[in-house]
Amino acid sequence: MISIENQLGLRPAMGWNSWNTFTWDINEQLIRDMADLFVTEGYKDAGYEYIVIDDCWSLKERDKDGNLVADPEKFPSGMKALADYIHSKGLKFGMYSCVGTHTCAGYPGSFEHEFQDAKLFAEWGVDYLKYDYCFKPRHISGELLYKRMSLALKNCGRDILFSACNWGADNVYQWIRESGAHMYRSTGDIRDNWDSIKELAISQLDKQCYTGSFCHNDMDMLVVGMYGGSNNDFIGRIGGCSDNEYKTHFSLWSIMGSPLMIGCDLRNANQVTKEILLNQELIAINQDLEGRGAYRIKPEPQWFHSDDVFMLVKVLTNGDLAIGFFNLSDSQRELSLQFWDLGLPYAAGFSLSLYDCWEHKELGVFRERFAPVVPARDCLIVRAKLVQ
Ligand code: GLA
């Protein structure tokens, strides 16, 4: 019998993607370096699995048979050899294409080549395909083009995780799960600054009912650890966040069930970056088997708080609750959680034992309410256990 645990897309994907930091400036040595670091620095052991090459990997033209061609200057050994290398490390290999005639950076897209490209990706040993939305002919629906590539991938002879990337356009929530995609971008491109993180997170708070096993809401790749280190001004060469902002970013993406795709240069990740990306308690919340979305609770008194101050609660498989106290505002706030809002009346006689997932320590046992003071742009993530 096939174990459900091994099914493609059961949990949010975890990996690294070349785009945020390197955009067009990619090559096979860089990709190999990231695979090596996944193993030596503990990312693989923590659950990170996919090494994904984003846009700008091919030549500008297909060959005479209509096949995509890897740029021989960037990838002289070819994609098959690169896939073999990544597989030899016990990792998986991801690539990128687009529903349209061209990718967003102007390389050939898979429009009207879907089955041919899926076959080629399978031959190369690809395990993951990110599928973008630029240069889409207007007469044809995106929904149909995602169905097409899904059908091609599911029948190409290899398990390939299908990562749709249409930026939340065309009410993607309403049709993407049925199309066969395992994850779907729900937002415009992230930038390496606090305003972008905050905007993307808030935009998805009322979309948590759509995310779940086998079709995860992808809030875009992580900017944790970039500190303004992109070669692309739009993403944030002059941006960058504080360590606390990166911690809050990772907490939001974890509890909201987004795939965790690292976007920084792991060759020079500092200690704080590693502690954030390798936080096992946050990763366990993100990867929880039942894959539920998180519900939002406004802190009391409700009239006092704006929309950037909220609690998120994710019901976990073993009966615990992951609770995030998020203060995305610019001033310190007390976030009061009344346990009745979790379905726990005082009269039931139970309390909650709280464990702090960033400080890695027990906070104690609380009955009726818990009201931490959270600094600006910060958060507290607890794992709560019901106790007598
Ligand atoms: C779009 C996507 C990004 C990235 C670029 C590549 O903007 O949303 O994540 O893949 O295209 O050109």
**pLDDT computed for residue 269 by the predictor:** 98
Between 79-88 and 114-124, two packed helices, what is the crossing angle to 10 degrees? 50
Q: How far is the CA of 325 from the centre of ligand 1 (A)?
A: 31
Specify whether 189 is catalytic.
yes
pLDDT tens, the chain, 388 aa long: 568 888 999 999 999 999 999 999 999 999 999 999 999 999 999 999 999 999 999 999 999 999 999 999 999 999 999 999 999 999 999 999 999 999 999 999 999 999 999 999 999 999 999 999 999 999 999 999 999 999 999 999 999 999 999 999 999 999 999 999 999 999 999 999 999 999 999 999 999 999 999 999 999 999 999 999 998 888 877 789 999 999 999 999 999 999 999 999 999 999 999 999 999 999 999 999 999 999 999 998 888 889 999 999 999 999 999 999 999 999 999 999 999 999 999 999 999 999 999 999 999 999 999 999 999 999 999 999 999 9
Return the residue whose CA atom lies nearest to atom 11 of ligand 1.
Answer: 104
* Cβ atoms within 10 Å, residue 45: 11
Specify whether 132 is catalytic.
yes
Q: Which residues of 278-290 are buried (b: 16+ CB within 10 A; e: fewer)?
A: bbebbbbbbbbee
Quick one: tokens of 254?
């974890």
Return the residue whose CA atom lies nearest to atom 6 of ligand 1.
Answer: 55
Q: How far is the CA of 23 from the centre of ligand 1 (A)?
A: 9
Integer angstrom CA distances of residue 140 from 114, 145, 158, 180, 324: 15, 8, 28, 18, 41
Which H helix or E strand runs over 93?
A: strand 92-98
Mutate to test the pocket of ligand 1, among 16, 17, 19, 96 (most ligand atoms within 8 A of CB): 19
Residue-range domains of the chain with CATH: 4-286 (3.20.20.70), 294-387 (2.60.40.1180)
Using CB distances shorter than 6 Å, the residues near ligand 1 are 19, 54-55, 103-105, 132, 165, 167, 189
- 326 strand-pairing partners: 310, 379
- Cα–Cα distance, 173 to 188 (Å, whole number): 14
**pLDDT computed for residue 5 by the predictor:** 81
Q: Which residues of 57-88 are buried (b: 16+ CB within 10 A; e: fewer)?
A: bbeeeeeeeeebbbeeebbeeebeebbebbee
Coil, strand or helix at 32:
helix
Q: How far is the CA of 25 from the centre of ligand 1 (A)?
A: 14
Integer angstrom CA distances of residue 31 from 19, 45, 92, 316, 338: 12, 19, 12, 35, 48
Nearest ligand 1 atom, CA 189: 8
Q: Which of 189, 243, 341, 356 is catalytic?
A: 189
**pLDDT computed for residue 238 by the predictor:** 75
* Cβ atoms within 10 Å, residue 334: 15
CB–CB of 117/107 below 8 Å?
no
**pLDDT computed for residue 1 by the predictor:** 59
Helix ranges (DSSP H) in 52-193: 79-88, 114-124, 142-154, 176-179
Q: How far is the CA of 31 from the centre of ligand 1 (A)?
A: 18
Nearest ligand 1 atom, CA 165: 8
pTM exceeding the 0.85 threshold for the entire prediction: yes
- 309 strand-pairing partners: 327
- Cα–Cα distance, 76 to 357 (Å, whole number): 44
Residue holding tokens 């090459």? Answer: 53
Q: Which residues contact 118 (CB under 8 A, 6 or more apart)?
A: 129, 149, 152, 153, 155, 156, 160
